[in-house]
Amino acid sequence: MTSHAHGFPASLVCQALRSALALPRALPVWGLSALQGTGKSTLAAQLAQAAHGQGLRVAVLSLDDFYLTRGARETLARQVHPLLETRGPPGTHDLPLALHTLQALRDGRPVALPRFDKLADDRLPERDWPRLDAPVHLVIFEGWCLGTPAQATGALVTPINTLEREEDAQGVWRGYCNATLARDYPALWATCDSLWFLQPPGFDPVLDWRWQAEQRLLATQPGRTAMTRSQLERFLQHYERISRHALATLPAIADHVVRVDAQRHVLAG
């Protein structure tokens, strides 16, 4: 039992690497889905380090790095619904860019990997993206809702939190997010040759975990501004519906499930 703060057990990392390299693809794409703060970035980094230790070249992609620019989200907010200005939910990702990046990696072509600055809430300029000029042996693709299917339309009727009740009373925002999840995201999910799911005990621990991550981000970039706790609580309500749906559906969809407790100790997997 090893806590997320100190990384995941070496045995789990080795198991993940073995499973990724056993995939029947010249370039396997190993997907990792987990709610915010569960430890997906930590496990992805450990897996990449283990692969590097075997002399392998690795590309690590995060769904977060494919957020639409702030300008694009502001346009959506004006044209569709104000809540679409907030990054994260389906409908706020640049899916053509994600698919192009993954296809370039598959083809072994030189490619720049997009990067998103969360404190600035905008995509970094392309000149600041890391560039891969040589083909890689493995792609690690992690994301907070990776592989999550759309909900049935009837499930959208009742608001599940204050944000939906007060700022999306007619259901326009959540309907748009769900429609894009149903229509546009399956092509991106299909790029993963295998999907692992880090399964927490529920949605409730996410606030504390995400708050810890916000504080770490601020500590590494002094002088920048981060969200207050109350701002973070509202921010996470944008993610709550799909997070709860992921918890209900991904254990049956994922190829492998790793359960963690509220302290992010590995329970099984």
Domain extent listing, the chain: 4-268
Q: Where are the beta strands (DSSP E) in the chain?
A: 29-34, 58-62, 111-112, 116-117, 122-123, 131-132, 138-143, 194-199, 256-260, 266-268
pLDDT range class, residue 268, cuts 50, 70, 90: low
Of the listed ranges 96-100, 228-232, 256-260, the one predicted with least confidence: 228-232
> Residue 13: what pLDDT?
97
pLDDT tens-place string over residues 5-29: 468 999 999 999 999 999 999 999 9
Between CA 261 and CA 268 the distance in angstroms is 10
> CB under 8 Å to 127, separation ≥6 — which residues?
none
Nearest partner of 58 among 67, 49, 71, 70, judged by Cα? 49
Q: Tell me the average pLDDT across 132-160.
A: 97
> Residue 216: what pLDDT?
77
Of the listed ranges 163-177, 197-211, 244-258, the one predicted with least confidence: 197-211
pTM for this entry:
0.92
Q: Mean pLDDT over all residues of the chain? A: 93
- pLDDT higher than 50, residue 1: no
Fold adopted by 4-268: Rossmann fold (3.40.50)
Q: Is the dihedral angle over the CA atoms 74, 191, 194, 174 positive or is it negative?
A: positive
142 φ/ψ angles, rounded to the nearest 5 degrees: -120, 150
- The residue with tokens 């283990």 is 50
- pLDDT higher than 60, residue 45: yes
CB-based contact 192:141 (threshold 8 Å): yes
CB-based contact 95:188 (threshold 8 Å): yes
For the chain, percent helix, then strand, then coil, each to nearest 5?
50, 15, 35
